[in-house]
Amino acid sequence: MSLTIAAHELIYVVDHAGAHGRLHHLAFFVDTREELLRAADLFLDADVPIEAAPSKHAVAQGMFLYVYEPGGNRVEVTTGTHFVTTPRMRRSCGPRPNAPRGQAWGVKTIETFHTYGTPDRKRAPARPADPAHQRAALAAARPGVMRDDKREIDELVRNWVVWRDAGDWKRFATVWHEDGVMMATWFQGRRARFIRVSREGFERGVNILHFLGGISVDVAARARSRRRR
């Protein structure tokens, strides 16, 4: 059922467990695949249980990511699907030939997708103790996210040098993490004191110019860019 051009917005299905009125999942639509992959990274960093890593539905052709929120409900992040732009679009009923294959690209459908709903008649889905398989799947799907992280870190380092040497203290303060610490030959201490001391010296005519050369960035599997030098 749908009130818009989206292929579906509300779906009723027969409950695998024979129950009634249970929730299968809620979905949030994002604009791009990149945003879906970034959501997967955020969930992984926050230890949110991931039921199904990013992939694509074979029939609806929409990208998906399924997780469990703290209350045990399944939540989907999705993007891309069929849009119905004409009332004359051919209706499709019954099983598709590729239904037994699972999802697109040969990905098998997670068993709990067919059996779990809320309220759970048995128990909440187990929280993954060490989702190594999730990390491997995300690592293969996240090259665009990795490039964004590297670009942000590269920009952060360059801004540290440019804004510090130019005396742009307001913007210079934004490149530091809240608990940032500066360790140099002439200063060791917290970021707020370092910024103050640097500013005082700059106003007295002390100019320390940094050399800005090439920058290479490696991002670990679970690492997120941090505002820290």
Say if residue 163 is in the same domain as residue 192.
yes
- Give residue 3's pLDDT band: very low, low, confident or very high (50, 70, 90): low
Q: Decide if 217 is inside a domain.
A: yes
- Cβ–Cβ under 8 Å, residues 166 and 200: no
Q: How many domains does the chain have?
A: 2
Query: pTM of the predicted model, to two decimals?
Result: 0.51
Exposed, middle or buried by CB within 10 Å (0-12, 13-18, 19+), for 54? buried
Quote the pLDDT of residue 58. 78
- Give residue 49's pLDDT band: very low, low, confident or very high (50, 70, 90): very high
What is the number of other CB atoms lying within 10 angstroms of the CB of residue 51? 19
Largest Cα–Cα separation, the chain: 79
Dihedral of alpha carbons 145, 157, 199, 184, sign: positive
Q: Provide φ and ψ at 176, rounded to 5°.
A: -105, 145
Say if residue 185 is in the same domain as residue 123.
no
131, 151, 168 - which closes a domain: 131
Q: Provide φ and ψ at 79, rounded to 5°.
A: -160, 150
Range of the domain at 201: 142-229
78, 104, 131 - which closes a domain: 131
Q: Decide if 72 is inside a domain.
A: yes
108, 131, 154 - which closes a domain: 131
Q: Encode pLDDT of 92-139 as tens digits.
A: 655 555 555 568 888 888 888 888 889 887 655 544 444 555 555 665
CATH code assigned at 96? 3.30.720.110
Q: Encode pLDDT of 7-42 as tens digits.
A: 677 788 888 778 888 999 999 999 899 999 999 999
Rounded Cα–Cα distance for residues 43 and 137 (Å):
14
